[in-house]
Structure 1
Amino acid sequence: MPEQPRTTVPSPQIRPLTPADLDAVVDLSLLAWEPVFVSFANLLGSSIFDLLYRPQWQVAQAAAVRRTCLADDSESFIVATADDVPVGFVVLQQDPDESLGMVEMIAVHPEHQRRGHGRTLMEFAIGRLRDQGLSLIHVGTGGDPGHAPARALYEAVGFTGLPLVNYYRAIA
């Protein structure tokens, strides 16, 4: 049987976020983070989930992405395909007084996940923050099943996790 030709995925291109990218970045973030919110709903139950994330988590998340990507103190970058279509993004922040860099947000469009784009973004973030003279990087994520791919990525590029627990109780 003849060997099937292998298709290669082009390496993502890293470039600064532009205002023209913002709508696409917001859209891909909502698609990428939907499994996280499904996981939250399953774990918390509808009464607590609704108190935290209703009427629609998408509205709040879209606003958070826009606000974060447009913040003056953030350095935002996106991964673009060869035809310059955003497929992922990362937002970096820093606290030079603490020599601490932060990965504030990261997402890859579901159609482009598991192709190395997230790793490329994280490696770029690490290099960028190192080049700025910072000695420590923080990235936060959840311990729920929806965040399992993020945890795997962070561990694959050398981050050490510190388990934390948040408790919620509806009282109304």
Structure 2
Amino acid sequence: MRPRIRPFEDRDAEAVVDFSLRAWAPVFASLERTLGSEIFRRQHPDWREDQRRAVEDVCDAENGRVWVAEVEGATVGFVAVELHHPERGMGEISMLAVDPDHQGGGIGTALTEFALERLKEAGMRVAMVETGGDPGHAAARRTYEKAGYVHLPIARYFKNL
């Protein structure tokens, strides 16, 4: 079932935060396995609270650049975009999450396509998105590659001292 995508409203905040944290729990678990607990805890002492604030901040921006996906009246996904360098025509999908109970049904793809259209309408000529290279981010990478993004490998290393 294709989701209905509409602008974010304040009434969506609780659901968006809730499903985002559930959606990102396996991602952060993967990051902890990849980095090791010591480095992970230094970077993310309370990832849930940090992510809650990040989602609330992006939704509070009041810039009209956050949308939600609904299926049968339930809010099950969201996407936020930013215009980082409007003078150079570059925007970004800055945040995207789909309720784990609705993943794998094309909602992430629909939100990605919708966000790309909004970026085009805003005059952007290049879209950027960042995600992790660890196993927990594999589904996100598939979604972005399916949308035609070009993967630019970046190496970032961590070491306990």
For normalisation by structure 1, the TM-score amounts to 0.89
Aligned to 2:88, what secondary structure does the other structure show?
A: coil
Q: What's the % identity of the aligned pairs?
A: 41
Structure 1 residue 130 corresponds to structure 2 residue 120: yes
Flag as ranges the 4+ runs of structure 1 deviating above 3 A: none
Distance 1:103 1:23 in 2: 21
Q: 2:10 aligns with which of 14, 19, 26?
A: 19
Aligned to 2:67, what secondary structure does the other structure show?
A: strand
Distance 1:74 1:147 in 2: 27
Distance 1:106 1:17 in 2: 13
Contact 2:7 2:64 in 1 (8 A): no
Q: Note the 1:109-124 alignment, pairs <5 A.
A: 109-124=99-114
Instruction: Call closer, same or farther: CA 1:27–1:134 in 2, change over 3 Å.
Output: same
Distance 2:48 2:155 in 1: 24
Q: 2:80 aligns with which of 91, 99, 104?
A: 91
Q: 1:149 aligns with which of 136, 139, 154?
A: 139
Q: Which runs of 5+ in 2 are unaligned?
A: none
Structure 1 residue 76 corresponds to structure 2 residue 38: no
Contact 1:22 1:66 in 2 (8 A): yes
Match of residue 48 from structure 1: 39
Match of residue 22 from structure 2: 31
Residue deviations 1:97-125, cap 9 Å, x none?
12011100001011100101011001101
* Alpha-carbon offset, residue 74 of structure 1: 5.7
Aligned to 1:102, what secondary structure does the other structure show?
A: strand
Distance 1:138 1:97 in 2: 15
Of Structure 1 and Structure 2, the greater helix share is in 2
Which amino acid counterpart does residue 86 of structure 1 have in structure 2? T
Which amino acid counterpart does residue 103 of structure 2 have in structure 1? Q
Aligned to 1:97, what secondary structure does the other structure show?
A: helix
Q: 1:106 aligns with which of 62, 84, 96?
A: 96
Match of residue 5 from structure 1: none
Contact 1:15 1:78 in 2 (8 A): yes
Structure with higher Rg: it is 1
Distance 2:63 2:151 in 1: 26
Instruction: Call closer, same or farther: CA 1:115–1:81 in 2, change over 3 Å.
Output: same
Aligned to 1:138, what secondary structure does the other structure show?
A: strand
* Alpha-carbon offset, residue 96 of structure 1: 1.4
